[in-house]
């Protein structure tokens, strides 16, 4: 009897403690169940909707929000300039079928931000490296002033990664560190030589994804700065260990990759098809990132990537898939009386 009472007492204390911790946390409470899918609805025409200022990807990071349905599809969407997002302004379709969904702002708890700068330091960047460095330093200063919990890493690359073969950098990369440390590290980088026109950002991206100590509760971001196409595994040259098809499963849903590209004989701001095997921009597109272009001297306002705003204006849409397809098309319509935005995610995997 005494043992039973003692066990019961310990259990009661554990329950009370858990309730106290939960009540003091910032974890938002989602509805107990996802609403049923609407019936008899018609998907809106995309005419009149803008595809700019809306970004999204399937989010495969563990959710911190308790939802009754364990196998939900979570889609992270960002609507720059939108501070409040009523459920009534969104409609979500999976494979042309409208979905019932719950909506929550995960950034209220996932407010840590880990950023890896993937920086081309080859000879072709000589005319742009100072502008790129100054842009990174200004960006790091802005992040410091934002008050967010930010860590920044820097991965320099040429044809090789960690260490670049002909770039004398010590240490060969900077792990996720303070903004101040990142500024100091970037300050001593310079443009080296590299062997040919294409460089190796793919290995640098995958190195960052696997070697950096990303915090479990942080939003994970990469920024690629380069002026050259990428080497890839099947190009027969032997520098890169990855084709884009190898990279998508490890990146899409886990990282947001933004890009700042130096205009060159390869990167034009008029290009809309990024499917070329060496085009880094497709990684940005597939992970819901933003694509920017520097001026001819490598200057770019990385604050215009809107990373802080991206985090602050991001929501998670959760729905229950009933589609047996291997890949999916997800469409999101955001509609107000004065603002209409449309997002289409093709080839999504869960």
Q: What is the DSSP string of 185-231?
A: HHHT------SSS-B-HHHHHHHHHHHS---TTEEEEEEEEESSPBP
Q: What is the pLDDT of residues 260-315, one digit of tens each?
A: 999 988 999 999 999 999 999 999 999 988 899 999 889 888 877 767 766 667 78
Q: With contact defined as beta carbons under 8 Å apart, do 74 and 59 qualify?
A: yes
Place of tokens 């090789």: 160
Given a cut of 50, whether residue 110 has pLDDT beyond it is: yes
pLDDT reported for residue 198: 94
Whole-number average pLDDT of the chain = 86
What is the rounded distance in angstroms from the CA atom of residue 235 to the CA atom of residue 230?
Answer: 10
pTM of the model: 0.76
Q: What is the pLDDT of residues 121-153, one digit of tens each?
A: 999 999 999 999 999 999 999 888 888 899 999
pLDDT reported for residue 70: 64
pLDDT reported for residue 281: 97
Q: What is the pLDDT of residues 44-68, one digit of tens each?
A: 999 999 998 898 889 988 766 666 5
């Amino acid at each position: 009897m005494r043992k039973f009472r003692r066990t019961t007492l310990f259990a009661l204390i554990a329950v009370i403690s858990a309730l106290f911790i939960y009540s003091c946390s910032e974890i938002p409470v989602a509805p107990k169940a996802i609403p049923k899918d609407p019936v008899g609805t018609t998907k809106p025409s995309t005419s009149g909707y803008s595809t700019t200022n809306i970004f999204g990807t399937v989010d495969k990071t563990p959710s911190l929000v308790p939802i009754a349905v364990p196998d939900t599809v979570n889609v992270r969407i960002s609507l720059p300039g939108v501070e409040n997002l009523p459920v009534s302004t969104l409609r979500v379709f999976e494979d042309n079928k409208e979905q019932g969904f719950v909506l929550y702002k995960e950034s209220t708890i996932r407010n840590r931000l880990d950023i890896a700068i993937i920086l081309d330091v080859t000879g072709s960047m000589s005319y742009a490296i100072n502008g790129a460095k100054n842009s990174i330093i200004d960006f790091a200063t802005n992040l410091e002033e934002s008050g967010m919990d930010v860590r920044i890493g820097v991965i320099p690359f040429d044809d090789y990664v960690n260490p670049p073969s002909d770039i004398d950098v010590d240490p060969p990369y900077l792990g996720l560190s303070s903004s101040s440390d990142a500024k100091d590290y970037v300050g001593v980088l310079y443009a080296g030589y590299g062997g040919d026109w294409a460089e190796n950002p793919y290995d640098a991206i995958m190195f960052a994804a696997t070697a950096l100590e990303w915090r479990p509760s942080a939003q994970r971001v990469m920024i690629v700065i380069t002026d050259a196409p990428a080497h890839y595994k099947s190009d027969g040259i032997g520098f890169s260990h990855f084709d884009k098809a190898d990279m998508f499963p490890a990146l899409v849903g886990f990282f947001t990759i933004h890009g700042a590209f130096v205009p060159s004989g390869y990167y034009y701001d008029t290009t809309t098809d990024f499917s070329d095997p060496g085009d880094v921009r497709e990684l940005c597109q597939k992970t819901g990132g933003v694509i920017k272009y520097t001026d001819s001297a490598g200057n770019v306002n990385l604050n215009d990537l809107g990373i802080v705003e991206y985090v602050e204006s991001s929501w998670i849409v959760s729905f229950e898939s009933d589609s047996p397809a291997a890949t999916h098309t997800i469409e999101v319509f955001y509609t107000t009386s004065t603002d209409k935005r449309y997002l289409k995610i093709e080839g999504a995997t869960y």
